[in-house]
Amino acid sequence: MHDYPADIFTENDDIDVDTLANLGPLRALAGVWEGTKGLDVNPYIDAPRRQTYIETIDLQPIDPQSNGAQVLYGLRYHTHIVKPDEVETYHDQVGYWLWEPATGTILHSLTIPRAQVVLATGYAAADATSFEVTAVRGSTENGICSGPFLEHAFRTDSFRLVVTLNPDDTWSYFEDTVLQVFGRPEPFHHTDRNTLYRVGPAVPNPLARG
């Protein structure tokens, strides 16, 4: 049960505009990253297919966002993935990582150009070195929405993403997307994992630069 104030309109006048200083566990993700040893296990005709991939993620701070009394700090991100030695895009993804300091809530939104969007949520301490977010099909708070073909052929029933912050200024993730593939009786765990190395700094949000 959420403990929201009766006044849902009045915004906080005393907001620190430095997003990088208020991102909690997301602070370690800010910047530009590359991972060269990604592994994707996805469903295919006769058996699961294993694919290695190279990934670039750009996560940059945005100005604080207010929903009435609620204050969110966040990173806007773009993920671009290719197969080794190929130019064609293997996966592309955009969205936001958001942190609510008052409640310890983490929100992760993603949109991919296969006609799918997800909003996943979780909770963590500000100094956590590992956290996870989840989403389930049918939820209006942490849900999954797919276009007609994906809903028919590769229905996504749940999504789980675990992030681990490593002491050597790298971070790793494990992603488990549970699919119901058309014509198959058992759910399929479509998994992705990678470790990201910093290749560029974070740029302070516009209000902080000002």
Q: Residues 97-151: pLDDT tens digits?
A: 999 999 999 999 999 999 999 999 999 999 999 999 999 999 999 999 999 999 9
Is residue 49 a part of any domain in this protein? yes
User: Structure pTM?
Assistant: 0.95
Is residue 3 a part of any domain in this protein? no
Handedness of CA 27, 103, 194, 110 (dihedral sign): negative
What burial class does residue 144 get, using C-beta atoms within 10 Å of its C-beta: 0-12 exposed, 13-18 middle, 19+ buried? Answer: buried
pLDDT at 2 over 80: no
Is residue 8 a part of any domain in this protein? no
Mean pLDDT across the stretch 158-164? Answer: 98
Closest CA to 133 of 124, 79, 125: 124
User: pLDDT per residue over 53-87, tens digit each?
Assistant: 999 999 999 999 999 999 999 999 999 999 999 99
In total, how many domains does the chain have?
A: 1
Contacts of 10 (CB under 8 A, 6+ apart): 68, 69
Is residue 9 a part of any domain in this protein? no
Average predicted confidence (pLDDT) for the chain = 96
- Rounded Cα gap, residues 210 and 204, in angstroms: 10
Under 8 Å between Cβ of 22 and 99: yes
pLDDT at 5: 83
pLDDT at 207: 94
- CATH at residue 147: 2.40.128.20
pLDDT at 52: 98
Is residue 12 a part of any domain in this protein? no
User: What is the domain range of residue 106?
Assistant: 19-209
Percent of the chain exceeding pLDDT 70 equals 99
pLDDT at 12: 84
